[in-house]
Structure 1
């Protein structure tokens, strides 16, 4: 496969996944703020931190209030990570390779981009926000299902899955990192009663809440949520599952040995990690290490194939 085509497939899927993840983050944060008591400070700034756009945000906005953050993360074309920019980038990549992907997938991606642009003002209000974000999420899930149900299982599909799973690993590690710092500091006895609500928000941000309850069959608590999201390989958005799937993709691609070494190195670090004994102040360091590993995997993919 031509490296140019592989690059467009890879990035099309990464941008689609990023748009869906961001939409879900905003959706969950909106509900979480309604559930938490007034004396538990959460706000909207963590959403900016998760995607590493703090400096870009404060160049344009004074305060991280709800309206400013929603506008920045959804419709602001000056923010490279906004949903509208992610969908525009996904659309452009899909347009270039529209002879490679199913025609229906190109049409869905194009329609999703146009719908998101039309919803630009409505999403700023709580009244219409949920339905606007839900359209983005469900449309992405439809596209994922269509691609999975109709693409040939060749190198193109392997690059698509590489993009999807690497983006998921990146987002899961970011959510755990930022949320664990902002949601679970040393809280008062009164505030500690709301820890389960906060961790529930973490799970819902990754569509993990129902599967966690179904599989773990225990009350929500920090160490078990970390175990589930980081090491439970049966859950599609866990770190270990993503690395396992990337390894399978690499077996279908030529000259992937160096990339596989980087994947194995990160998998081994994760395997040795004891989430039950991981102190709060050590979690950030672990997540930083994982994110550096993700960057290294991406760089090795880029150098080898693009």
Structure 2
């Protein structure tokens, strides 16, 4: 496969996943507008904007970040992440970039995949945000999530399991790994009570990651920092756990790797295995009988487990680009 086409499939996967990640975070926040007080809503916006690496809204120079989110209204904050074409992190921008990458590889893309992606983008582009907001703040992002999940299903049903599919899946799960690490890091840093007694709910983090019901089945109703973070880092059956994402990355790289998973492995494959091993060896989560034992992770510094993971996940993207996209012409595409 040409490096340019590999890059298009890779970035198609990344931008589609990024769009859904933004929509999921907005869905979490917008469902809280009815029954949460102003301080809790402002704290939620801080999480959303930090998790998406977005600057806080404009505010007077003597106002700190927390107060800036108190001043801004939910309509403006949501609009900036949904319909603002000047914001590269907005849903319309990310969906548009996914569509643009798909357009570049249109001859290699099954027709149902292109139709589903294109219709979803045009639907969002033609939606009047003010009218959609009037129907209910959360309705628009919920419909967007449904369309993006439909796209994932259409891809799964129509694409052959060749290198095109592997690069699309690779982009999707590299993006998921990076976004989930950032989300867990941000939540861990903000979760503990501040001077006003405000704190984030670990149950809400599980819900954002679609893991609340699996956690209740596997653990108990007791929610502690170490148990929740460990579950979202290492559970292999939760689709938004770090373990699940690294497993899918390693699997797709095994298929892309010319050696087929046999030594010597390509550099991205080696790093993916190292990240997976680091997740297994991390001592942060209390083991069995965690609900009855003291939480050993409670004394760990907020965000501490995620600094090396953040670094390695970014390095993984760089290695994928260097190995399969931006490799020296004299070296040729690995084959």
Aligned twin of 1:46? 47
Conserved 8 A contact 2:14-2:171: yes
Contact 2:28–2:208, Cα closer than 8 Å, also in 1: yes
- State which structure, 1 or 2, has the greater radius of gyration over its C-alpha atoms: 2
Q: Does 1:233 align with 2:233?
A: no
- Which TM-score applies when normalising by structure 2? 0.81
Deviation at 1:217, TM superposition (A): 4.0
Cα distance in 1 for partners of 2:114, 2:162 equals 19
How many angstroms does 1:220 deviate by? Answer: 3.1
SS of equivalent residue, structure 2 residue 84? coil
Partner residue in 2 for 1:80: 88
Task: Give the corresponding residue for 2:333.
Answer: none
Question: Which consecutive unaligned segments of at least 5 residues does structure 2 have?
Answer: 259-264, 287-295, 326-335
Residue 263 of structure 1 is matched in structure 2 by: 272
**Cα distance change, pair 18–110 in 1 and its aligned pair in 2 (3 A):** same
1:20-59 correspondence to structure 2 within 5 Å: 20-37=20-37, 40=40, 42-54=43-55, 58=58
- State which of 202, 205, 215 in structure 1 corresponds to 2:205: 202
Q: Which residue is 2:309 aligned to?
A: 290
Contact 1:91 1:110 in 2 (8 A): yes
Provide Cα deviations, 1:112-133, integer angstroms capped at 9, x if missing partner.
Answer: 1111112242377364332211
For this pair of structures, how many residues does the alignment match?
299
Query: C-alpha distance in 2, partners of 1:37/1:183?
Result: 17
Query: TM-score, with normalisation over the residues of structure 1?
Result: 0.88
Distance verdict in 2 for CA 1:42–1:108, change over 3 Å: same
**Unmatched tracts of structure 1, length 5 or more:** none
CA distance in 1, matches of 2:14, 2:189: 26
- The RMSD of aligned alpha carbons is 2.5
What whole-Å deviation, never above 9, does each CA across 1:147-202 have from its counterpart, x for those lacking one? Answer: 111211111111111111111111211111112222333688x867xx6xx22221
Residues 98 and 216 of structure 1: CA distance in aligned 2, closer, same or farther (over 3 Å): farther
Contact 1:230/1:239 (8 A) holds in 2:
yes
Structure whose residues are more often helix by fraction: 1
* Aligned residue number for residue 125 of structure 2: 117
Checking the alignment, whether the CA contact within 8 Å between 2:257 and 2:269 is kept in structure 1 is: no
Find the partner of 2:110 among 102, 105, 108: 102
Partner residue in 2 for 1:272? 281
Which residue of structure 2 lines up, in the alignment, with residue 250 of structure 1? 253
